[in-house]
Amino acid sequence: MAEQKNPNANNEITTQEERNELVLAKEQKLKHLLEKGVNPYGSRFEITHYTKDIIENFDALEGKTVTIAGRMTAKRGHGKASFGNIGDFKGNIQIYVRKDVVGDDLYDTYSCVEVGDIIGLTGEVFRTHKGEISVKVFTFTILNKSTQIFPEKYHGLKDVDTRYRQRYLDLITNPEVKDTFIKRSRIIQSMRRYLDDKGFLEVETPMLHPILGGANAKPFITHHNTLDMQLYLRIATELYLKKLIVGGFDRVYEIGKNFRNEGLSIKHNPEFTSVELYQAYGDITDMMDLTEDMISVICEEVNGTTTIPYGDFGDICLAKPWKKMSMIEAVKEYTGYDFTIIDTDEKARAIVKEEFPGQEETISWGEALNLFFEERVEENLVQPTFIYDYPIEISPLAKRKEDDPRMTYRFELFITSRELANAFSELNDPKDQRARFEKQVEKREHGDEEAQMMDEDFVTALEYGMPPTGGLGIGIDRLVMLLTNSQSIRDVILFPTMRKKETV
């Protein structure tokens, strides 16, 4: 039986007139249904099986009656019989509709069903002469008549901008997209299970903050009318979670949204999901062990292996153990500059002037070290690598190293040249914390919009006493990108932030 051509095959609707003609044809079929007394927007429909269940259990279901529902993804045939395909949440299956089985009236109704319409049907499971598992329809009902134009099924929706703006259409036409978000859900479930099993308590903290803190980032600002006060959408959950450690919770974590008023890129979205966790009586060594173990366990659970492909990087091995380097060691290995010899601000500024013309002449030794790392080292860190010992200037919440006061007990995890996790031995000295906040305030006063504010309540909390604590933050969107081989953060966020669409 010859397949009917979709009138907008290959998405080749070139004029508004062509689109209008297709929409008019749909409207005429809708009108015909209404004239027949058929409700094109049905009500509750109870199913017995999903399409995937039927295919996987064919031997047990052959010859049995099933009831399924879903969207028509294809329709072909003419005369007294027609084949089609129904897609539901779990998969897709062929259906077979015969006029002498369903009757003249219902077959006439079926003539108004098109690709994109949602129907529910009851029929018998069988295998065609060509060997395809199918359902022979006894009866069906229209549950929703679509009046929009769908992309042709063999080509799907390809325009990237439209895919992100109309994610519902992307999910309908590109089944692999749905698989990515199912896997995202499984990743987060696996993470929760892991942390719960380790004795961590999941908590919720405010999203509206009166003071900006917990990270260096530009915020989104809002206003509370009743309180007549400015509030910030949170850029991190850190300070509230550490207050809970002060309050006596030994292990806490929060999975949730943060908001940063930053640019858009393949690895940045203004609202993003992260997990932050804190372990009393721990340090960065505990956080390193936990990070390494948790990510490898999650990868094994959702992918069945700890070696996964990622874009042009090839295979990424997440099996333990992972590489560990200090920031000074990494800069020396990849640039040749040794910051144990370049050991003063003056020496560092001279090298920066040589390598990065135009940088501020007041740059400090620690800022220079970090500049070399970010600009010359990060791109080389493809396989999982922990970089530890960060300069104090860029780590206002991390504990100062006892043997080198210029550095802090901090690490970041890099995979595929991207930062994936950030961890500290948390600063619990209130005097040191106040001094570092004051440094951040100075930066803000000199125009650094990403510097943190003075948080008196947090300093007060530390004065009551916070035990030695290890803290960790992981970008869940970036973790999902890695574990699903997705190249853009927009591919793993259901509704990413988009620029305002230009109108003609």
Q: For the segment 327-356, what is each residue's pLDDT rounded down to a tens digit?
A: 999 999 999 999 999 999 999 999 999 999
Q: Write the DSSP symbol of residue 426.
A: B
Percent of the chain with pLDDT over 70: 96
pLDDT grade for 20, boundaries at 50, 70 and 90: confident
Q: What is the pLDDT at residue 449?
A: 84
Question: What pLDDT, on a 0 to 100 scale, did the predictor assign at position 156?
Answer: 67
CB-based contacts of 204: which residues, under 8 Å, 6+ apart? Answer: 254, 256
Identify any residues that bridge with 278 across adjacent strands, giving them in sequence order.
Answer: 252, 471
CA 407 to chain centre: 33
Q: Which helix (H) or strand (E) holds 343?
A: none
pLDDT at 178: 94
Q: Where are the alpha helices (DSSP H) in 454-495?
A: 456-464, 476-484
Among 127-141, 166-180, 235-249, 399-413, the least confident range: 166-180
pLDDT at position 4 = 40
For residues 51 and 125, the answer to whether their CB atoms sit within 8 Å is no
Would you state the CATH architecture of domain 175-322+383-491? 2-Layer Sandwich (3.30)
In the structure, what pLDDT confidence band is assigned to residue 21 with cuts at 50, 70 and 90?
A: confident
Residue 413 clears pLDDT 80, i.e. is over it = yes
- Each residue of 208-229: pLDDT tens digit? 999 988 888 999 999 999 999 9
Q: What is the largest CA-CA distance in the chain?
A: 91
Using one digit for the tens of pLDDT, what is the confidence trace for 167-197? Answer: 999 999 888 899 999 999 999 999 999 999 9
| pLDDT at residue number 261 | 94
Quick one: tokens of 276? Answer: 């932050």
Instruction: Answer whether residue 91 shows pLDDT above 50.
Output: yes
Cβ atoms < 10 Å from Cβ of 467:
14
- What mean pLDDT is reported for the chain? 93
Cα angle for residues 54, 60, 66 (degrees, 5° grid): 45
Helix pair 345-355, 365-372: axis angle to 10 deg: 30
Give the residue extent of every domain in the chain.
9-156, 175-322+383-491
| CA quadruple 473, 475, 479, 480: dihedral sign | positive
CA distances, 290 to each of 160, 243, 306, 418, 426 (Å): 37, 22, 16, 19, 16
Q: What angle do CA 241, 245, 251 make, to 5 degrees?
A: 85
Helix (H, G, I), strand (E, B) or coil at 436: helix
User: Given a cut of 70, is residue 18 above it in pLDDT?
Assistant: yes
Please check the confidence at residue 48 and state whether its pLDDT lies above 90.
yes
pLDDT in tens, 239-275: 999 999 999 999 999 999 999 998 899 989 999 999 9
Q: Which residue has the higher pLDDT, 42 or 360?
A: 42
What is the token pair recorded at 183?
A: 């896997």
Length of the chain: 504
To the nearest whole percent, how much of the chain has pLDDT over 90?
82
The pLDDT assigned to 13 comes to 53
**Cα(264)–Cα(25) distance, rounded to whole angstroms?**
40
Going by pLDDT thresholds of 50, 70 and 90, the confidence category of residue 152 is low
Question: Could you say which DSSP state residue 48 is in?
Answer: S
9-156 fold: OB fold (Dihydrolipoamide Acetyltransferase, E2P) (2.40.50)
- Evaluate if residue 7 carries a pLDDT over 80: no
**Per-residue pLDDT averaged across 1-19, rounded?**
52
Asked if the model's pLDDT at residue 6 lies above 50, the reply is no
User: Looking at the predicted structure, is the pLDDT value of residue 154 above 90?
Assistant: no
| pLDDT exceeds cutoff 50 at 405 | yes
